[in-house]
Amino acid sequence: MHIDILTLFPEFFVSPLGCSILKRAQAQGILSVACLNLRDFAFDRHRVTDDRPFGGGPGMVLKIEPLVRAIHWVRERRPQVQVILLSPQGRLFNQAMAQDLAQQESLLLICGHYEGVDARVQYFIDTEISLGDFILTGGEIPALAIVDAVTRLLPGSLGAEDSAAEDSFKDNLLKGPQYTRPRDFAGYTVPEVLLSGDHQRIARWRRHQALRRTWERRPDLLLHARLTAEDRAYLATLTVGEGQPPDSA
C-alpha cells in the first residue's frame, strides 16, 4: 500500500514513521509513505496556502487552489487513490473503516489546519473522516492514527503471528484481559484457567471475558457484534444489578 499525506508540516511525521511497526512495514515493502508539503502546490512565489474567510470571522482558511492542485497531482500518478480529508465534520473513524481502507491500493490523507479548508474541496475528495468529537490544531495527528491503524492490518506488518486478528473490535467486541509473568503480584493472581493448558477451555474463557468487558464498558458495540447462540446465552446471564457476572471458567 502507498499513502500520501498532504500537510503544511511534513516534519511532524518524521519520527513516528521511523519507529516500530511503521518503520518495519516500510523496510519490508509492505507500506510506502510520502509526505507532501502543501506549500509546494501554491501558485505564487510566496507559497501562500491560506487566506481570510469570506464574510469575516476569526482565523484563516486553507485555499482551494493548492489543495486541488495537489489532489490532481496525486491522482495523475495513482488513479485508484482514495482521497480523504481529515475533518471534525467527517465520519467517525473506527476499526471497520480501518479494515476497509486497508483494502485500498493507495490513500491520500489531507490534513486540515487553521479554521479549516475551503468548503469547495468537497467536490474533489472521496470522503471526510474524524477521530472524534473534539478539536485538534490540525489533521496531522488523525492522519498518523489512520496510517498506524491501517498499517497493522496489512498482511505481514505484525510478523508471522498476525496478532491484529485478535485485537479489540474483532467481531465488534472489546478484547478481554491479558496477563503475563509473574503469576502472583501483590496478592493479585493470574486466573487459573490460563494456566490449565486446556486450550479449548482457555478459548471459551477469553471469549466470555471479551463479551463481559464489552457488556460492562461498551454495551453499544453489542448491537452490531457478530454473536453465536452460546454468546447470547452467556450475555443473558449478565444482568444489571447482580454485581460481577458469573465466572465462565
* CATH number of the domain residue 92 falls in: 3.40.1280.10
Q: Do 6 and 49 reside in the same domain of the chain?
A: yes
Same domain assignment for residues 106 and 33: yes
pLDDT digits (tens, 9 = 90+) for 16-38: 999 999 999 999 999 999 999 99
User: CA–CA separation, 128 vs 112, rounded Å?
Assistant: 11
Determine the average pLDDT of the residues in 209-227. 94
Side-chain-side CA neighbours of 87 within 13 Å: the count stands at 19
Q: Which of 93, 126, 151 is the last residue of a domain?
A: 151
Cα pseudo-dihedral 170, 30, 155, 4, rounded to 10:
30
Q: Which of 58-62, 81-85, 107-111 has the lowest mean pLDDT?
A: 58-62
| Assigned domain for 158 exists | no
Please report, for the domain that includes residue 230, its CATH number: 1.10.1270.20
Please tell me the total number of residues recorded for the chain in this structure.
Answer: 249
CA torsion sign for 89, 93, 96, 101 is positive
Does residue 93 contact residue 142 with C-beta atoms inside 8 Å?
Answer: yes
Following CA atoms 84, 88, 94, 96 in sequence, which dihedral angle do they give, to the nearest 10 degrees?
-40
When pLDDT is cut at 50, 70 and 90, the band that residue 241 belongs to is very low
Q: Is residue 25 located within the same domain as residue 82?
A: yes
Residue 144 lies inside a defined structural domain of this protein:
yes
Residue 183 and residue 106 share a domain: no
pLDDT at 163 over 70: no
For the record, the C-alpha cell of 17 comes out as: 514513521
Query: How high is the mean pLDDT of the chain?
Result: 92
Q: What is the pLDDT of residues 96-115, one digit of tens each?
A: 999 999 999 999 999 998 88
Query: What does 18-50 look like in DSSP terms, one character per residue?
Result: TSHHHHHHHHTTS-EEEEEEGGGG-SSTT---E
Catalytic sites, residue numbers:
88, 115, 152, 167
Could you give the CA distance from residue 23 to residue 70 in angstroms, rounded to a whole number? 26
Residues 176-193, mean pLDDT to the nearest whole number: 95
Q: Is residue 33 a contact partner of residue 147, using CB atoms and an 8 Å limit? A: yes
Last residue of a domain, one of 151, 185, 215: 151
Would you say residue 162 lies in a domain? no
Range of the domain at 186: 168-235
3-state helix, strand, coil in the chain (%, to 5): 40, 20, 40
Tally of domains within the chain = 2
By C-alpha distance, which of 211, 217, 218, 213 is closest to 236?
A: 211
